[in-house]
Amino acid sequence: MKKVALVTLYAKDTRGIPPLGALYLATALKKNGFVPKIIYKESTEIEDVILEIENFNPDIVGMSVFTGFLNQNYVELSKKLKLKGYKIVWGNAHPSLLPEEVLGQKYVDFIVIGEGEETMIELMMNFDNKSCFSNILGLGFKDENGAIKINGRRPFINIDEYLIDWSLIDLEKFLVPYFSNRYKRTLAVTTSRGCAFNCQFCYNLVFNNRKWRGHDAEKFINNLKPIIEKYNINAIRFLDDNFFFDRERAMSIVRGLNLPYYADARVEYVNEKFVTDLKDTKCQEIMFGFESGNERILKEVVQKGTGTAEIVKAVTLLKDSSIMVSGSFVFGFPSETKEEYLNTMKFIVKLLEINNNLAFTCGWYLPYPGTELYEKSKKMGFTPPNKIEDWDRLDRWRNDYEMEWIDWDYKDKVKYTRKVVHLLALSYKRNIPILKTILCKRVKNAFFKFPIDIFLLHKLRGIYLFGSNKNFVHRIVKKMVIKLLNGRV
Ligand code: B12
Ligand code: SF4
């Protein structure tokens, strides 16, 4: 029987999320009589990955690669395996969005565009019969002359056919603390794929053709319930792009699982009933793509389909719900002015004044292939990397990249925005007026000169001021520091 190794690499700080793509593929392959092996290792452990592959001796090695993240490591691994004679297939967002570029590399034999389950089954069924490759939808391959062939796209599959076989990984390794350590054995899952909206920076436009499809609630619950009981899982993180797209289905799932949870939503979904349902179903944290505090950016550039009024309404309705609201802001969109950047900063303060149980992730726009904004960024000066490994520089958390599509001075803004907004949100949460005042001034004016307070607070963040209540002494000192800052000692 043909054997397939499926490699997912993680970075030191991203450990603990199950390799769900590989798990779905492995489930499908096993169901069809093939022998899959999931290899999940840190990006620094390339030599160990190679050893594991050599011991397993697969017919093909699959890699799960999205844009930017660890591209360099996947390239290094693929090159080394190619030298040893292995056949290599790349799947996930990057090869799906840049099929020619990826397949043009000597170290890649096949690429799979979009969902991988049925394309991989057909590839393995026809593995020794090259003449059939051109009939496999979703596959990219090289013919006898080395010419690149990209087949047509595969229609979306019925995902309920491949509900995860959890025995394919050691699940213990993926049960991690979450929600400020309150729940120690949290599992991340996805219950649906894709999204029907039109956000101009999102991979969904091409990767999922704006088509949302979800697992049947009952089938999903029946698949996960035994695992929850066996492993004593006490909270769930739903990583779906748009978990609440079908609100009725989503609520059936969370009711059926009956565990505290995190999930993503869109702001216009929030009304009184939605908030009541979230509370009733033990929602701990809900995440929204706020994107910007400017109507022009939301409407014309991102085409979000919602404006700032909906954001304010959602944040207001969720106030006092004890549900933590996370919002993602993106700065530096093509054509965004410095004034618009400042507007978003002021908008952040406004939201915190309404609801202090807010957290933000602040990223800078990165042009992902296959999107409308990618084409716009190219017209405005962005030069896509020549080599696959150079896509690594599109890392959301780096603060030193060039953004050729921005024509104002963004360097110190990139360096401090995320940090200062994070600290401001914490000072609202802990209600420390003096810090609120100082940090508000910084955020509203994007004033980052003499950043000594930012430096100190950032250091203190993990320790006494904002950190978790690790032990008794810790708690007492933290209380005293907060009282001191409030002028109450
Ligand atoms: C979990 C997650 C992560 C995790 C780990 C991912 C992992 N190792 O699996 C972490 C936290 C590391 C992460 C990081 C980032 N992520 Co992320 N992440 C996700 C998320 C929420 C879920 C992924 C998932 O498990 N999906 C479920 C599975 C079933 O779907 P799938 O992975 O697409 O797999 C299917 C196909 O792609 C294909 N397939 C997948 N692998 C393979 C392999 C082979 C061999 C084959 C044949 C097929 C195949 O078949 C699978 C089944 O059909 C997705 C959004 C989403 N809902 O998918 C974003 C997503 C993948 N992330 C994204 C991005 C951009 C990032 C960042 C790289 C941003 C950046 N450049 O800095 C950051 C990295 C920052 C950092 N330094 O940490 C984008 C990717 C866009 C793109 N063009 O690449 C996504 C799509 C989010 C979005 N809506 O934009 N992410
Ligand atoms: S709502 Fe979110 S997942 Fe859907 S298209 Fe917009 S950014 Fe992408």
SS (H, E, C) 217-240: HHHHHHHHHHHHHHHCCCEEEECC
Q: Identify the residue whose C-alpha is closest to ligand 2 atom 3.
A: 241
Indicate whether 135 belongs to any domain: yes
Tell whether 406 and 434 lie within a shared domain: yes
Q: 376: CA distance to ligand 2 center in Å? A: 18
Range of the domain at 24: 3-157
Residue of 25, 27, 66 with the most ligand 1 atoms within 8 Å of its CB, for mutation: 66
| Contact between 360 and 344 (Cβ < 8 Å) | no
153 lies in the same domain as 8: yes
15 in the same domain as 89: yes
The answer to whether residues 138 and 192 belong to one domain is no
In a domain, 485, yes or no: no
Identify whether residues 295 and 392 lie together within a single domain.
Answer: yes
Given a contact cutoff of 8 angstroms between Cβ atoms, the answer to whether 360 and 329 are in contact is: yes
Asked if residue 488 belongs to a domain, the reply is no
> Which protein residues are within 6 Å of ligand 1, measured from CB?
6, 8, 10-11, 14, 17, 19-21, 24-25, 62-64, 66-69, 89, 91-94, 97, 112, 115-117, 120, 190, 202-203, 239-241, 366, 368, 394-397
**Atom from ligand 1 closest to the CA of residue 67:** 84
Does some domain include residue 192? yes
Domain finish residue from 105, 128, 157: 157
Does a structural domain hold residue 60?
yes
pLDDT in tens, 248-277: 999 999 999 999 999 999 999 999 999 999
User: Among residues 127, 157, 187, which one ends one of the domains?
Assistant: 157
Phi, psi of 285 (to 5 degrees): -150, 140
What is the domain-level CATH number for residue 37?
3.40.50.280
- Same domain for 436 and 311, yes or no, is yes
What's the domain count of the chain? 2
Separation CA 451–CA 447 (nearest Å): 9
Give the pLDDT of the chain (489 residues) as one tens digit per residue: 999 999 999 998 888 899 999 999 999 999 999 999 999 999 999 999 999 999 999 999 999 999 999 999 999 999 999 999 999 999 999 999 999 999 999 999 999 999 999 999 999 999 999 999 999 999 999 999 999 999 999 999 999 999 999 999 999 999 999 887 889 999 999 999 999 999 999 999 999 999 999 999 999 999 999 999 999 999 999 999 999 999 999 999 999 999 999 999 999 999 999 999 999 999 999 999 999 999 999 999 999 999 999 999 999 999 999 999 999 999 999 999 999 999 999 999 999 999 999 999 999 999 999 898 999 999 999 999 999 999 988 887 777 778 999 999 998 999 999 999 999 999 999 899 999 999 999 999 999 999 998 888 888 776 656 665 556 776 777 777 767 666 554
Torsion over CA: 192, 168, 187, 48 (sign) = negative
Residues with CB under 6 A from ligand 2: 195, 197, 199, 202, 204, 241-242, 266, 289
Q: Does residue 89 sit in the same domain as residue 136?
A: yes
- Of 128, 157, 186, which residue is a domain's last? 157
Map tokens 């307070």 to a residue: 453
Instruction: Count Cβ atoms below 10 Å from residue 320 Cβ, excluding itself.
Output: 10
Helix 411-429, helix 452-461: angle, nearest 10: 50
Q: Is residue 274 part of a domain?
A: yes
- Domain for residue 478, yes or no? no
Residue 148 sits in the same domain as residue 224: no
- Judgement on whether residues 8 and 89 belong to the same structural domain of the protein: yes
Question: What torsion, rounded to 10 degrees, do the Cα atoms 395, 101, 43, 37 define?
Answer: 130
Instruction: Confirm whether 465 is domain-assigned.
Output: no
CB 191 within 8 A of CB 238: yes
**CA–CA separation, 82 and 84 (whole Å):** 5
pTM for the whole structure? 0.95
Label the pairing between strands 183-189 and 213-214: unpaired
Instruction: Work out the angle between the directed axes of helices 452-461 and 433-445 (0-180°, nearest 10).
Output: 130
State the SS3 of 238-263.
ECCCCCCCCHHHHHHHHHHHCCCEEE
> DSSP letters along 152-179, please?
PPPPPP-GGGG---GGGS-GGGG-EEET
Contact partners, residue 375, CB within 8 Å, separation at least 6 = none
Q: How far apart are CA 389 and CA 76, in angstroms?
A: 8
Task: Return the CATH number at 380.
Answer: 3.20.20.70
Q: Would you say the C-alpha torsion 457, 463, 465, 466 has a positive or negative sign?
A: positive
Q: Quick one: which ligand is closest to 269's CA?
A: 2
The SS3 of residue 472 is helix
Looking at the structure, tell me whether residues 132 and 224 fall in a common domain: no
179 and 214 inside one domain: yes
Q: Which ligand is nearest to the CA of 290?
A: 2
Residues 149 and 21 in one domain: yes
